[in-house]
Amino acid sequence: MTNFSISSMQASDKQVIFKRYVNDHSDVLFNYAVHHGFDVHNAKDLVQETFISAWRNIDGFNEKASVRNWLFVIMKNKIVDHYRKVANNIVIESIEADHHDHTFFDEHDHWRAGMHPKEWSVNFVSKTEANDFQRIFETCNSKLKEIQSAVFVKKYVDGLNSEEICKELGITTSNYWVILHRAKVQLRACLEKNWLLK
């Protein structure tokens, strides 16, 4: 059995194969981007950038990995690059200025007595209710600053630890805690307004 190699194909054959890649994997890449804090417009741009990069590097793909895994590696690198630029461009002081009290959390980032979130009363067995909650959560998440959303999702969705997140996003430990703290406060306020108190 000979090893498959796209680089040995004619350009027209490569285009046919690549079009299949786009058709088969666009939706799952788009959904991944949305769940990682990108709005619809930016998620579409990210998917497009992923495929542009994949096309430029298609000759180096020899199918040792699955096509989907290959595309996800490209997209994850694009996401990291994006958030590093965001982290470098934002003024952390603007987040720190919002972080002016300890209404909900103490100095150790634990909930203060009496400030714990109310019961969410989400019936996740009910697909309709679970979908409604997911929609509201994503709306609340979309209102965060990009860097806040990235830190929150990487910690609580992807399960990365603080060191991994700081390294990946190119932020300091102190900035990480400020960003995460403020994200939790804002998400709580939004969820209580749109779900918990309805």
pLDDT of residue 23: 94
Q: What are the extents of the domains in the chain?
A: 9-89, 92-196
**CA 118 to CA 144: how far, in whole Å?**
21
**CA 43 to CA 162: how far, in whole Å?**
25
What radius of gyration, in Å, describes the C-alpha atoms of the chain?
A: 20
Determine the average pLDDT of the residues in 168-190: 85
Determine the average pLDDT of the residues in 19-44: 90
pTM over 0.75, yes/no: no
Domain at 9-89: CATH code: 1.10.1740.10
| pLDDT score of 131 more than 80 | yes
pLDDT of residue 3: 46
| pLDDT score of 1 more than 50 | no
Sign of the Cα torsion 25, 30, 31, 32 reads: positive
Is the domain covering 92-196 a CATH 3.30.930.10 domain?
no
